[in-house]
Amino acid sequence: MTTTSAAKIEVRPINPEELEEFGFVTHTTLATHGNGGFNDPMKDLRPEWTLCVFEDGALVTTFAAWPFSMRWNGERIHVAGVTSVGTLPHKRRRGHLTRAMTTAFGNYRDAQQPIAILHASQAAIYQRYGYAIIAPVQDYRVDPREINFLGAPQPRGTVRLTDASELDVLKSLYRAYADPRTGLLHRGDALWEGGVLDAHDKQAGPVYVAIYEEDGEPQGYALYLTRPGDGTGVADRNHVVTLRELHALTPSAYVALWQHVAAHDLADTLIRKSAPIDDPLFHMLLEPRRLHATVHDNILLRIVDVAPALSTRPYAESGSVTFELIDDRCEWNRGAWTLDADGQRGELTRSTAAPHFTLDARALSALASGARSATDLYRQGGLDTSQPESLRTWDRLFHTAYQPHCPDLF
């Protein structure tokens, strides 16, 4: 009889000399060859940010996380931006991802990163680790001539066309837009230059920057590309405008910037990718069906360390709730907790009181981010309570002014 010895499994960060192998495995599993920018795992990623699985000395599973800061209902919080996750096809179904993920959760807690976020190739992979889909997004594909507003304000300011040389203005507007929200990252130059400002193919044209101003004060911006169409569109209008990003601080700025990108007379197609789920455009247009809006999942979030995650988050009202948290991946989260909020700040402490609610890590991640209300979760079976009348307390405590959104790819 022939016996096979068990493989030697090691979970560790890569060494600098293993970065090329890391890139090969990641590109092979995610098919990201040649994408460039932040889709390139070789770009800017440090070996100490990785956590990989080696089988008999060979790298078989890649895993890494960017050390980001993120808006958390108007507060800054440190998060792990999980990226470059993949296992070679012939090494799958062996528990390698679970090994890396479990080790990573402990590392994030030690690094005071109480939240992890990621873009999922398949949500099913990560929801079983306690991640929740918190920020679905909308894509639009519309004829620019159909951008006709109904009952919207008439902008009294002006739009000027510029370029990335005004990055400081863009940063200031982005910070003002992001500040009260959840999910938007604190962008450094690398995220700007490797993300929304990266034209990918500079020979085909730049990223255009449109800034709306009133009385000399910037109130919003739009970033977009223009490219020739594929020849199948309207004969005399065969250009495509792709709106990368539009952040407006006022309704007038929002209307003016949309009117600007729709004013390219040679374009028959205007594409907007990853608009927030609470983007108001659908409700502002004369004929919203022409947007051909589609919705899909985007960012997933996981509360890794519940005490600092909920104590950092601002709250809409004062109140107190006790809940039982079920978490089969992060044992330090398990058990009963009491949240006391004063209408601004909150404090989460261990509790011996009888819980009002019982929920798991995925449901709590959706609730705390503002993606789902307690009542929604209860109706979906994601939250259990013997006191349904107390749901309103949780709804009020965790209410957010905006739905979560993260437009950056990483």
Same domain, 152 and 195: yes
Q: How confident is the model over 86-105, as pLDDT tens digits?
A: 999 888 888 899 999 999 99
The verdict on residue 393 lying in a domain is yes
Same domain, 104 and 182: no
Same domain, 183 and 286: yes
Same domain, 175 and 235: yes
CATH number for 348: 3.30.1050.10
Q: How confident is the model over 367-389, as pLDDT tens digits?
A: 999 999 999 999 999 999 989 99
Provide the pLDDT for residue 4: 53
Provide the pLDDT for residue 37: 46
Same domain, 346 and 207: no
Same domain, 96 and 170: no
Domain closes at, from 87, 119, 151: 119
If you average pLDDT over residues 181-198, what whole number do you get? 95
> Percent of the chain at pLDDT above 70?
94
If you average pLDDT over residues 156-163, what whole number do you get? 97
The verdict on residue 1 lying in a domain is no
Domain closes at, from 297, 321, 337: 297
DSSP secondary structure string for all residues of 318-376: EEEEEEEEE-SS-GGG-EEEEEEEESS-EEEEE--SPPSEEEEHHHHHHHHHTSS-HHH
| Domain range for 365 | 306-397
The verdict on residue 128 lying in a domain is no
Where does the pLDDT of residue 205 fall: very low under 50, low under 70, confident under 90, or very high at 90 and above?
confident
Where does the pLDDT of residue 407 fall: very low under 50, low under 70, confident under 90, or very high at 90 and above?
very high
**Based on the structure, what is the number of domains in the chain?**
3
The verdict on residue 403 lying in a domain is no
Q: pLDDT at residue 335 above 90?
A: yes
Same domain, 180 and 291: yes
CATH number for 161: 3.40.630.30
The verdict on residue 406 lying in a domain is no
Q: How confident is the model over 18-75, as pLDDT tens digits?
A: 999 999 999 999 887 654 444 454 578 999 999 999 999 999 999 999 999 999 999 9
Distance in angstroms (rounded) separating the CA atoms of residues 274 and 370: 18
Same domain, 164 and 237: yes
Same domain, 50 and 72: yes
> Percent of the chain at pLDDT above 90?
85
> pTM for the complete prediction?
0.93
Same domain, 313 and 180: no
Provide the pLDDT for residue 233: 62
Q: How confident is the model over 222-278, as pLDDT tens digits?
A: 999 999 887 666 667 889 999 999 999 999 999 999 999 999 999 999 999 999 999
Provide the pLDDT for residue 235: 65
Provide the pLDDT for residue 230: 77
Provide the pLDDT for residue 95: 84
One-letter amino acid of 100: A
The verdict on residue 312 lying in a domain is yes
Same domain, 273 and 313: no
First to last CA, the chain: 49
Same domain, 84 and 157: no
Where does the pLDDT of residue 7 fall: very low under 50, low under 70, confident under 90, or very high at 90 and above?
confident
The verdict on residue 207 lying in a domain is yes
Provide the pLDDT for residue 234: 63
Question: 243 near 270, Cβ under 8 Å?
Answer: yes
The verdict on residue 125 lying in a domain is no
Q: Phi and psi at residue 177, in whole multiples of 5°? A: -70, -45
- From residue 218, alpha-carbon distances to 160, 166, 291, 297 in Å are 10, 11, 27, 32
Q: pLDDT at residue 208 above 60?
A: yes
Name the residue among 1, 2, 51, 65 with its Cα closest to residue 22: 51
Domain closes at, from 271, 297, 323: 297
* Secondary structure (3-state) at 199: coil
